[in-house]
């Protein structure tokens, strides 16, 4: 074998391995779990006692959790394309949950400032 073919053969093996459906599904699931962890650190999963409604961050967090579980189930049945779809959807919902939690925090601070009289509400401007 020539030197070029000895260098190209491992590269082709790596490329073929990355294109493997089980690997893609596993990587997507890991990305989804990472985004869920970040959303959990932001507090998107917190339910306060006496809370009357579900916030958008909570909804998206728990929907992402269900999508990850569905992805794991589909991987168990060797339906890797569907598992990858659900895992990618869970990752995007986890990121949205984190973003919405940050927006909720900003709105809460603004409401507190309005109540304290530090700023005027927008309708009074």
Specify the pLDDT at position 53.
86
Contacts of 74 (CB under 8 A, 6+ apart): 25, 80, 82, 83, 86
Token pair, residue 51, equals: 């809370």
Q: What is the pTM of this model?
A: 0.75
pLDDT (tens digit per residue) in 30-55: 999 999 999 999 888 888 888 888 88
Helix or strand or coil: residue 41? helix
Contacts of 123 (CB under 8 A, 6+ apart): none
Specify the pLDDT at position 83.
96
Q: Examine the pLDDT at 13 and tell me if it is beyond 90.
A: no
Task: Work out the pLDDT band at 88, boundaries 50, 70, 90.
Answer: very high
């Amino acid at each position: 074998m020539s030197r070029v073919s000895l260098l190209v053969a491992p590269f082709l093996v790596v490329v073929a391995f990355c294109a493997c459906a089980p690997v893609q599904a596993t990587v997507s699931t890991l990305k989804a779990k990472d985004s869920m962890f970040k959303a959990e650190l932001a507090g998107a999963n917190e339910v306060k006692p006496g809370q009357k409604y579900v916030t958008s961050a909570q909804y998206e967090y728990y929907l992402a959790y269900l999508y990850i579980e569905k992805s794991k189930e589909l991987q168990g049945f060797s339906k890797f394309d569907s598992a990858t779809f659900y895992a990618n959807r869970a990752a995007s919902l986890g990121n949205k949950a984190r973003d919405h939690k940050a927006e909720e925090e900003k709105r809460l601070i603004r409401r507190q400032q309005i109540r304290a009289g530090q700023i005027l509400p927008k309708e009074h401007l």
